[in-house]
Structure 1
Amino acid sequence: MVGALRGGSGAVLTAAAVAAGLLGAPAPARAAMPVFDKLVAYVRDGDVWVSRGPTERRVTTGGGHRRPRWSPDHTRLVVLRGDQVYVMKADGTARTRVTARPVGGAAWAPDGRSLALVSAACLGGPGVYRAPATGGALTALFPAACRDREIPPAPAPEAAGGSLTARLRHDDGVAWSPDGARIAFRGGDCEAVLDDCLTLGNVATGGERLVAGYGGGGSALTGFAVVPSFRPDGAALTYSAYAEGPTAAQDQPLHVEEQDLATGATRTRGEPLDRESTYVDGTRLLATTQYRSSSWIVLLAPAGRTLVRKGSQPAY
């Protein structure tokens, strides 16, 4: 991992410079509204909206919604409201609560029949469970040591507050690989030696592999990696990352990082303060960015970046 990020102009952008407003990401292009092949889901003012282009539709009301995720056939959404998880049709109807257990993150299995849910595990940290998308009993997946133990009661998650980085640090966004073999999630066995970490777990064996780690275990950086998303071919993973080093020159402002899962090589996608990314295809990403003191959806493409609309937490 690098000590500082480079913006599109080539200038080195440190966390201190971004925070001071001395340097920052160039304003995204205000080009014609992109038109997507499928609906994009996103959050604005606590409700979920969907859009393919210039028009949009709100599909929830009442606020408190977050982290929408599309089913593989793109006909249903799983969404969190508070600490509860619901499945609904793309238009917001037929809303069903999956479980009464407090949940911090949710993702679809590739077959569309199951969900990966993040909740308190038997070892005390966050764990990953499988649940039928129609509702039903939970099965522990990670940590593997919890697979043959009774599922513990789950305390209600504490409300996140404070700065943007403070709110994201403990985000339990989770991702299931397109082939169904792996799940990416925050925490795992790596927490025995690290303060914060992102893990890739093997669904069949329960084995875990470290994707990114911070603090403890000889790491010079403190920080976090959260909200993972698999590339459609399953060969790469993006996540929102942040790091602080022993010196200011090693600080890394919040950004989108992409890791090649075969080689472990990483690179930065987009600009500082981009976050919460999701793949559109093999080369393009949708992410949340900061623009004019608000959260906006931005399209990150090889040709540049384009503002899509006001909102956050895109799902494609």
Structure 2
Amino acid sequence: AWLQEMGSAVDVVDLVAFSAVINAYAKAADPEGAVRCFHRAVDSGLRPDLGVYVAVIDAHAACGQGAGAAEWLDKGVAAGIEMDMSSYNAVINAFARSGDLGAASAWQTRAVADGQKLDMMSFNSIINAVAQSGDSSAAEAWMLKAEAAGLRPNEVTYTSLMNAAVHRGDRSAVNELFESMRSKGLRPNIVTYTTLVAAEALSGDVGAAEAALEKAAADGVTVDVQSLGVQVHAYAKAGNFEGAKRCLDRALAQGIAPNDVVYTTLMDACAQKGDADGTIAWFTLAREQGLRLTVRSYN
């Protein structure tokens, strides 16, 4: 509703306001809304700039709509806009997210042909896509392609490779990749540490999982609610309710407010142990904190 209100207000303002609304549609993964607002800007006599075109491209990319993202990049070129590498990366990312790696690779080639210089982001979206599918070999092959292009893999690259190793249950590879990135001077972020904790917890090595959390704290990396959910889920899946609860207690001490996913995971862990009282206790606490529990929570 607020997007519609903003959209109706831009009739009397400038391109900056239109750009803000289009960016809001992009963040909401609403390409149709972004396109409508774009046309309203044009109908108002304004000439969209690079930022506006990139926002429309991003809106399509957020939905994995590669063809739509590519179409709007071409429209920008046709309008005389000097598109930058970020716009090409958005198209590459859109195709990668939809699983069309051939098209993603083709757009890398197109970017170079158009005078752009590939950066690590041009490869990370593809590496992440294949890593999430569990294809570690393909992910590593794409990293080698990036290195062959003279690029230096970053923490996002290594975290994606670690995630692929978690999917295939290769704890050793996760740790090797983690140490490799640190040896190269890269600083692990919260996603990296969450991936490491998940690998250790799923293997059943509570000590290693706790050590990973201590490393994160020593590096000044603070848990967020999303990483908390992943960590709690990993402990619960490994049948380690105590570890899951320690993660929660640590997060609470840092001022992190758990969401319904975290509480549902804890309830599941209790239920799997046959601990009906524990399940009810976590359910009650979640309700007291005003969380809207999902249907799964009641099952």
Give the structure-1-normalised TM-score: 0.29
Rg (Cα) greater in structure = 2
Query: Which structure has the highest strand share of the two?
Result: 1
Point out which structure has higher relative CO (alpha carbons under 8 A, 6+ apart).
1
Give the structure-2-normalised TM-score: 0.30
